[in-house]
Amino acid sequence: MYSFPFSANDLSRMKQAKKITAITGAGISSESGIPTFRGEGGLWKNYRAEDLATPQAFAKDPDLVWEWYDWRRKICAEAQPNQGHITLAKWETIVPGFTLITQNVDGLHPRAGSKNLLQIHGNIFKARCLNCGNLSEIDPEKPREVSCSLCFSKLRPHILWFGESYDQDLIASCFETISSSDLILIVGTSANVSVPADMAKEGIRKGAFSIEINPERTSLSELVDYSLQGKSGEILPKLLDEIYK
């Protein structure tokens, strides 16, 4: 039985929260068997992820980059949402003001049922036209389209690559959401990516009750109200039960 360190006042505050924002990173999906594609475990045909996930790499060899993303998409399609993903989707049905901001592109959150979802790094199951920007779905069971259905221009993965800027409207929406949140959950993120970390800090600065769930401590651990070490797939379901029992 997991023992939480919360006081009765903490639990009351979490239960009464009307606006909740969760920020998730690669850690929650690694529990579903999806590798992070960085470091030693990220090697693919002697390439690093950082060498393939760039506009320059795509301009030089789009077929190679697409081949890598096709390989990654197959891994994501075969993975299943774990109890962490499922619990966050369930939380949204309990609290209508629940928003999920994710760094992950693997599609596990929508497959788990999350609908109020902001995917700040894109989605591996979508392609974007280089000319008109039209987004199209990629069905992992069918051959991938190579040109835009509207203007017939070349397609690229709908992923935020190294060296590219975030969608500023999307980021503004995230900051607006988190700055008015009563409760923020920081799940499975190392806090090494500056923009999501800054979002979490903004919520904390504005007075939100904050909980970090991660196997290891991060740069945010000293800032949150509680830092819970462990797997999100194990802690999140118990946390939800503890709050709404």
Return the ∠ at Cα 154 (arms to 148 and 155), rounded to 5°.
70
Is the dihedral angle over the CA atoms 37, 34, 27, 175 positive or is it negative? Answer: positive
Determine the Cα–Cα distance for residues 151 and 82; give it in Å rounded to an integer.
39
Determine the Cα–Cα distance for residues 82 and 96; give it in Å rounded to an integer.
22
121 a catalytic residue:
yes
Q: Which of 85, 109, 121, 158 is catalytic?
A: 121
CB 226 within 8 A of CB 212: yes
Tell me the catalytic residues. Answer: 121
